[in-house]
């Protein structure tokens, strides 16, 4: 339990807050377990997800589950990379791979001067709002603006406002600086999706489904058009089929796992690594990374090339980024039975109706965030 501290191993939670954060994580895992039990009809008394806050993570093995940060939905939709990159930069609602970014351009020549990437989930900031609003403000003051007030972050019903005037890209009316992700990119969504994917599933002929696209089509969790959702589900499902129960590892969260700096052509003999700064998280658990040229370098980020093309969009860098969630697994003698695509346990194999359960997805699809609406 002591491993589950703040996201990214950031040492900003005191002992009291760490205990409260662990309680919040425990609640999220318990909700995931409940969701897993309700995936079948009738609901099961058993689940193959465990709560590592209550049970600990001893005798577990880790499984890295990673994927590309640039939205697969956009590369599928647009044959032109330029169009896909442009759409990726245009709206946070298009950035749906558990990674969001903000592009800041020079007001004179429109060249990119900074791109900020984040995988910080709104769950953590909601937790801070409820338990230590002063720390929440300190983070906003450090990374966004000293002008932020708690009222700016409070919704009409007294809860934390994820989409507020300070957590919006500068490219939208120059009002704020991206701090954390919004919408479907949450830790609770990752927990719920993992829970839904725990049941081994069979096709119309009773054969186990292992292909990630076929599996998500069968179980109807998340968004089949993403890199992340089908892959997370398939990797979790494979761990279950190997005779395990699963959960998500400490430190809790989604992370930038790797940034491929090959192909960067930087002027004046500088290295690509000179462009990158880890602002939150550590080297192994990157939460917030900023790309910009060193001060007084004499050029701009837009003068840098990636694979022979000048950086014109943040999406070009996103294509070089890998996102990760870390699963954990431990053996269990209680082997999970298979279910068909309607959620019926196959013990023995029963006739298959192939009617997916009418469950709400843990992640909303085709979300467009209207940042000039009353939601802000």
Dihedral over alpha carbons 94, 365, 36, 19 (to 10 degrees):
40
pLDDT of residue 184: 78
> What's the pTM?
0.91
What distances in angstroms separate CA 111 from CA 229, 292, 301, 317, one per listed residue?
Answer: 34, 12, 8, 15
Model confidence at 269, pLDDT cuts 50, 70, 90, reads confident
Q: What percent of the chain clears pLDDT 70, i.e. is strictly above it?
A: 89
In Å, how far from its chain's centre is CA 191? 11
pLDDT of residue 170: 57
Residue written as token pair 């690509």: 272
Task: Reply yes or no on whether the pLDDT at 114 is more than 80.
Answer: yes
Q: Which of 289, 315, 292 is CA-nearest to residue 303?
A: 292
Task: Reply yes or no on whether the pLDDT at 341 is more than 70.
Answer: yes
Task: Reply yes or no on whether the pLDDT at 89 is more than 70.
Answer: yes
Q: Which of 50, 56, 65 is CA-nearest to residue 244?
A: 50
pLDDT of residue 127: 98
pLDDT tens-place string over residues 121-147: 999 999 999 999 999 999 999 999 999
CB-CB contact of 328 with 310 (8 Å)? no
């Amino acid at each position: 339990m002591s491993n589950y501290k703040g996201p990214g191993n950031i040492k900003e939670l005191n002992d009291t807050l760490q205990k409260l954060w662990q309680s919040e994580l425990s609640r999220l895992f318990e909700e995931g377990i409940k969701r897993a039990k309700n995936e079948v009809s009738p609901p099961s008394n058993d689940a193959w997800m465990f709560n590592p806050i209550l049970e600990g993570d001893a005798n577990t093995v880790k499984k890295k589950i990673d994927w590309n940060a640039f939205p697969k939905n956009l590369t599928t939709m647009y044959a032109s990379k330029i169009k896909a990159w442009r759409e990726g930069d245009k709206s946070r609602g298009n950035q749906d791979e558990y990674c969001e970014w903000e592009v800041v351009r020079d007001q004179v020549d429109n060249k990119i001067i900074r791109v900020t990437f984040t995988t910080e989930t709104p769950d953590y900031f909601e937790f801070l709002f409820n338990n230590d609003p002063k720390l929440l403000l300190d983070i906003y003051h450090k990374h966004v603006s000293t002008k932020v007030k708690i009222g700016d972050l409070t919704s009409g019903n007294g809860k934390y406002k994820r989409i507020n005037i300070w957590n919006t890209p500068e490219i939208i009316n120059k009002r704020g600086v991206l701090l954390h992700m919004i919408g479907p990119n949450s830790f609770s969504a990752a927990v719920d999706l993992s829970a839904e994917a725990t049941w081994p599933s069979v096709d119309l002929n009773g054969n186990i489904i292992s292909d990630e696209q076929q599996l998500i089509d069968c179980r109807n969790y998340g968004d089949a058009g993403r890199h992340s959702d089908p892959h997370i589900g398939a990797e979790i499902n494979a761990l279950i089929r190997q005779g395990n129960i699963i959960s998500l590892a400490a430190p809790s969260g989604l992370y930038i796992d790797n940034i491929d700096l090959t192909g960067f052509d930087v002027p004046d003999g500088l290295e690509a690594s000179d462009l990158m700064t880890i602002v939150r998280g550590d080297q192994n658990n990157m939460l917030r990374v900023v790309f910009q040229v060193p001060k007084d370098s004499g050029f701009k980020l837009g003068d840098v090339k990636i694979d022979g093309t000048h950086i014109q969009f943040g999406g070009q860098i996103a294509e070089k980024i890998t996102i990760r969630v870390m699963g954990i697994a431990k053996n269990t003698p209680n082997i999970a039975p298979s279910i068909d695509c309607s959620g019926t346990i196959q013990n023995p194999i029963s006739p298959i109706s192939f009617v997916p359960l009418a469950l709400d997805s843990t992640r909303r699809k085709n979300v467009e965030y209207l940042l000039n609406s009353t939601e802000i």
